[in-house]
Amino acid sequence: MTAADHLEVEVKFLVDDLDAVRARLAAAGAKLGAPRVHERNVRFDTADAALLGREELLRLRQDTRVRLTYKGLAAEDAASEAKIREELEVTVDDFDRMATILHRLGFAPAQTYEKYRETFHWGAVEVVLDELPFGYFVELEGPSDESLKAVAGALGLDWSRRVLDNYLALMEMARRAFDLPFSDLTFANFERHPVSMGQLLPMCVVREGKDS
């Protein structure tokens, strides 16, 4: 296994309607990989935020299983139109016990974020439909920029409107822009302070059927 086996190439798009994207996926014969599920994610870091300072991520995620993930910058990122990162992930069987192990190693919960996610597979590209507290997103992950561009075009997603920031970076953007009194990206927080990322990011308007 080479270092390239651990690289993720991805982009995301803010969309107005996930149902229209879902209809296009069905029409194209995309396969459902995982049904809609709630995700709870906790980002861990040191007391001095050393990982954040190096643009690294240590995340514990719980949906239908529990996974520990490390993400770091990849050298290939500079030449790509998508976002390329090293991603290493393992499945564990106990969220709380893994959190305790991280604590013993000097890491503490730094931020919580959640979403609902539905996963599809279109050839070699994974397409996920994400419902976040501040908007709907489509995320594409595949082997190359070209593969992502092809799927984006078929889904009616304007490549020029792609978003390369992760959800935590978008949360920080929203926190600053809307003067939010919290940093956790949770549905409960945004119920009290509703905002839309459509005010900050270009949105793709998707309609069912093929583009003319």
Whether residue 170 is contained in a domain is answered as: yes
Is the per-residue pLDDT at 194 higher than 60? yes
211 within a domain of the structure (yes/no): no
In a domain, 68, yes or no: yes
Structure tokens at 188: 């409960």
pLDDT of 199 reads: 96
Region 179-189 average pLDDT: 98
Q: How many domains does the chain have?
A: 1
| 114: nearest Cα among 18, 163, 43, 174 | 43
pLDDT in tens, 66-107: 999 999 987 665 567 888 889 999 999 999 999 999 999 999
In the numeric block, which tokens belong to residue 141?
A: 């992950």
Q: How far apart are CA 164 and CA 198, in angstroms?
A: 15
pLDDT at 210: 63
Domain around 151: 3-204
The CATH number covering residue 79 comes to: 2.40.320.10
Name which of 33, 31, 86, 27 is nearest 57 in CA terms.
86
Residue 125 falls inside a structural domain: yes
Q: Is residue 210 part of a domain?
A: no
Whether 193 maps to a domain, the answer reads yes
Mean pLDDT of 146-158: 96
**What's the CA gap between 207 and 158, in Å, rounded?**
12
| 102: its two tokens | 């991280």
Which residues partner with 128 through β-bridges? Answer: 119, 139
With respect to residue 212, please indicate whether it lies within any of the assigned structural domains.
no
Nearest in space to 157 (alpha carbons), one of 19, 25, 15 = 15
Q: How far apart are CA 140 and CA 151, in angstroms?
A: 8
DSSP H helices, 90-203, are 95-104, 145-154, 167-178, 187-192
Within-domain flag for 161: yes
**Has residue 1 got a pLDDT over 60?**
no
